[in-house]
Chain A
C-alpha cells in the first residue's frame, strides 16, 4: 500500500501529503513547516479564525504526517502491554487508548494513541517516528510491524458541528460512537475509519482512509460542511486548543528520551503529570523498575497547568517562587480566547517543596522592538482549562 511519489521527491525537503493539492489552494501565504518529513500547514488564512472554527464550528486538520504503525500478531496485546506504561489488557477491540512509553530508565520516549482494531490487530499513532523503538521492543514477541505513515491519510475533524457534518456526509450510525470508539464504513470501494478522538478537548473525530481516497474525502467533507462553518486549520490554531485542553506535546513540553543527551533533560510520566497512565502493578513493562524507584525516591520535576494574571502569554518564562527563587520554566503558553485566561504549562523543580501558592512568572514581551518585563502571579490549575460536556455527550448534539 505504498503511495505513489514523484521519483524526484528526494530533491524536496518535505513530502506533500495526499491532501496537499487542496491545502495548497487554500494556503494564503504558503506557510508550511516540516512535520517528520511532511509538509504541514502553520495556518491557511488566519489563526484566530481557524481557532474559532475548532471551538465554534468545524475544523479540519491534516493528520497524515502522524507516524502510524500497524502491529499485528498473536502477541500484539502482550507486546503493547510490555512496551507502554498502561495496562493494555483493558483496551478492548474497537477502542482507542492514550498512553506513554518509556525507556529502561523510566523516561518518556513518546506519547500516542493505540487503536485496537481486533484481537490481534492494532495501530499506534505517535508524533515522533517510532519504528526503531517498536522493533527494539518487539524482540521475543510474535508480532508483525508495518509503517503505515505513507499509506494512510488522516483528517482531524473537530468542533461542535463536527458531528453534524459527518452525519450530513452520510456516515450513519456515527451518533452511537462513544469517545475513544472506532467505526468503519465502506468508502468508494475502499474503507473509511472514523475514531472519536482528537487533540482539542472538544467534540471531534479523526477520519482515516487509504491515500488514494484522500481527495475524495476532503471534497465530500467540505461539501457536507458548507453550511456548518467548516474550515481547514493549521497547527498554530491546534496548539492553542491543545493547551486549553491540557494536552502535552512532545518536543514542547518534554524532550523525547531518545533525543536527550544531557542528564536530567528527559522526563518521566510522573514528571509530566501522567502518573494515571502508569500501571506499576503490571509484572513487567519497559521503565517499570525505574518508575518504582522514582515513586519511592520522589521525582525531579512536576508539570503544572498555570493560570497567569494579565494577558501577556508567558512564553518560555521562568517561574519563580516568591519572586525570588527559580522554580521552573514555562513549556507552553497561550492566551486562551475561549476561557479568557492567560494559561501555560510549566515544568517545576519538585525539590522546592514549598506549597505551590506563591508562584510568579517573569514575562518578557516586545512592543515596537522594545522589551518589557512584567511579573504576574500564577495559580496552579488542576483541571484542563477547557472541557465542555459536549466533548463526551453520546449521541452528540447537532449544533
Chain B
C-alpha cells in the first residue's frame, strides 16, 4: 500500500500550520488533522457572547517571525498587521499611570534618572536578546554524541554570544543570565511602578515570580522573540493569523481536516506509521508530526508503554502546570479608567503596580489558591477593530495571574468568586467597570486544557524555564524535533523555542524534516 500523504500533522495550531505550509511548499503532500472545528489552537478568534468576538487565548501579537510572514507570503493570504501599534500602560489606582514605550517611558512618578536609565537598560537588554535571537530559528544542538554539525552549532552559539556581544557585554550577559529580574531591576531603577511593570513581562505565562532565578532569561527571551516585530492587536483577532496561515498552507497544497481528533499514533515495529482517530479510522504516512504538547504526544498519543522508560519518565516530569487564566467580558460601553484618555484604552494595559504585588499574587498559587489581588494584562481589541463587537459595544480581554491549574478544592466551585475578584481589581482602576459588563467568559487553566488540548493549560505546552529550554526542550533526546520514535516529530510550543504566537517551532521542525535530519 502506498501512502497518499508524505506527512501528517496532528494539530492545526499556528505552529502546525507553519510546519504544514513549509513542508507543502517544499513539495510534500501534507494532511493536517485538528481536533477542533476551527484551526488555530490557542491562536483563534471566537464568539463568546452574541456579537462579541475575542482572541480566545493569545491576544497580543508581538513575536510572529517576520521571516515566516515573508516566506509564506502571509499578507497575500489575508494577514492584516495594520492594527495600530500598542504601548504598555501600567495602571495606577490614583490615575498616575506609567506609559512604557519601546525605548522611553512617560509617567508622573518616574524620575529623569529612571527615564535615562530605561533607554539604556532596554538597549542593553536588546543587545543581549540579539545574541539569543539567532537561536530561535535554529534546531538546537544535541548534547550527547555531538557530531561535527553539532560542534559547528555550538561554536556558532558561542560566537554569537562572544563576538556578537563583545567581551564586556558577554561578561554582563553571563553575570545576569542566572539572575532574577527583581534584583536586576533594583540595580537599575528607582521607580517601583516601573519595576513592577517590567517584572510582569518576565513572568507572564509562567509559573514564576520576579524573585525566581531564571526570570532574566524569560525576560530576554521575550525581547529576543519580539526584536523584529511591533506589538499589535491583529485585525480580526488572533484567529486572523491562523486563518492566513491555513490559507497559505492550502495554497501550497496542504490539506486540513478539522473535527479530527487523533487518538493514537500508529506504531509498527517501534516506528510511527500513521494515526488512528477516535472512531477507529486510520491514516498512514511515513512522517508524523505532532503539534500537540509533549505530554499529550508521548503519554497519550504514543503511550508511555511504547516509549523507553527513561524518556517516558522525563516527559511525565515536565512542568506543565499553567497558572494564567483568561477572562473575556462583553461591555455595553467603554469603562472609564481613572487617569486614562479613551484613545489610550486601545493599548496594552497592565496591572502590576509593584514587584511585591506580583510576589503576593504568586504566593497564593504556591498553595493552590488563586491570587487575592491578581496581576493582569488587559486589551480592549474592539477599539481598533469594531468588527469584534456590536456597534458602540466593546470586548475586554484579560490575562489574569495567578490562577493555578491545580486549585485546591477545584475550579467548579470557585470560578464565580474568582471572576468577582478580577472584576473588583479592575474596578479599582475603573470604578464604573462592573456596570458595563454584560457577559463574562472565564477560562481557567483547566478550561484551557479541556478546550484547547494543552496539558495543564500551559501557554507554552510546558514551562519555558532554563532547564526546559534549547537542547533541553522538551527534554534531551527529543530536542531536535525528531523523537526517538522513528518517523515521529514535534513541531509545537513544547519544542524549541517554545510558545507565543511566533511560528518558530513549526518553521524549525519543517526545516529539520526537509533536511532529513535523521
B515 at the interface (CB under 8 A from A): no
B247-280: contact bitstring with A at CB < 8 Å (1 yes, 0 no)? 0000000000000000000011110000000000
A283 at the interface (CB under 8 A from B): yes
Tell me if B306 and A136 are in contact (CB < 8 A).
no
A1 at the interface (CB under 8 A from B): no
**Chain A residues with Cβ under 8 A from B516's Cβ?**
none
Q: How large is the interface on B (under 10, 10 to 19, 20 to 34, 35 or more residues)?
A: 10 to 19
Tell me if A104 and B303 are in contact (CB < 8 A).
no
Residue from A104, A105, A287 whose CB has the most chain B CB atoms within 10 Å: A104
B304-322: contact bitstring with A at CB < 8 Å (1 yes, 0 no)? 1111111111001000000
A83 at the interface (CB under 8 A from B): yes
Residue of A82, A104, A283, A284 touching B310 (CB-CB under 8 A): A104
B158 at the interface (CB under 8 A from A): no
**Chain B residues with Cβ under 8 A from A133's Cβ?**
309
Closest-by-CB residue of B relative to A105 is B310
How far, in Å, is B188 (CB) from chain A's closest CB? 42
Closest-by-CB residue of B relative to A137 is B309
Residue from B267, B299, B312 whose CB has the most chain A CB atoms within 10 Å: B312
Tell me if A139 and B316 are in contact (CB < 8 A).
yes
Tell me if A288 and B308 are in contact (CB < 8 A).
yes
- Known pairs A139-B313, A140-B299; A286 contacts B269 (CB<8 A): no
Closest-by-CB residue of A relative to B144 is A105
How far, in Å, is B267 (CB) from chain A's closest CB? 7
Query: How far apart are the CA atoms of A103 and B269 in the complex, in Å?
Result: 19
Tell me if A104 and B308 are in contact (CB < 8 A).
yes
Tell me if B305 and A141 are in contact (CB < 8 A).
yes
Residue of A78, A79, A141, A287 touching B308 (CB-CB under 8 A): A287
**Chain B residues with Cβ under 8 A from A83's Cβ?**
309
B477 at the interface (CB under 8 A from A): yes
Query: How far apart are the CA atoms of A100 and B484 in the complex, in Å?
Result: 22
Tell me if B269 and A136 are in contact (CB < 8 A).
no
Tell me if B308 and A289 are in contact (CB < 8 A).
yes
Tell me if A103 and B270 are in contact (CB < 8 A).
no
Query: How far apart are the CA atoms of A284 and B312 in the complex, in Å?
Result: 13
Query: How far apart are the CA atoms of A83 and B484 in the complex, in Å?
Result: 17
Q: Name A70-85 residues within 8 Å CB distance of B.
A: 75, 78-79, 82-83
**Chain A residues with Cβ under 8 A from B269's Cβ?**
283
**Chain B residues with Cβ under 8 A from A141's Cβ?**
304-305
**Chain B residues with Cβ under 8 A from A139's Cβ?**
299, 304, 309, 312-313, 316
- Known pairs A82-B305, A104-B309, A104-B311; A289 contacts B267 (CB<8 A): no
How far, in Å, is B351 (CB) from chain A's closest CB? 40
How far, in Å, is B301 (CB) from chain A's closest CB? 12
Tell me if A284 and B270 are in contact (CB < 8 A).
yes
Tell me if B305 and A78 are in contact (CB < 8 A).
yes
- Residues of B in contact with A (beta carbons under 8 Å apart): 267-270, 299, 303-313, 316, 477, 484
13 A-B pairs in the complex with CB atoms less than 8 angstroms apart: A103-B310, A137-B309, A139-B299, A139-B304, A139-B312, A139-B316, A140-B299, A283-B306, A284-B270, A286-B309, A286-B310, A288-B270, A288-B308
Additional A-B contact list (10), CB under 8 Å, known A283-B306, A284-B267, A286-B310:
A103-B309, A104-B484, A133-B309, A140-B303, A140-B312, A284-B270, A284-B305, A286-B308, A286-B309, A289-B484
- A-B CB proximity, top 5 nearest: A140-B304, A104-B310, A140-B305, A286-B308, A137-B309
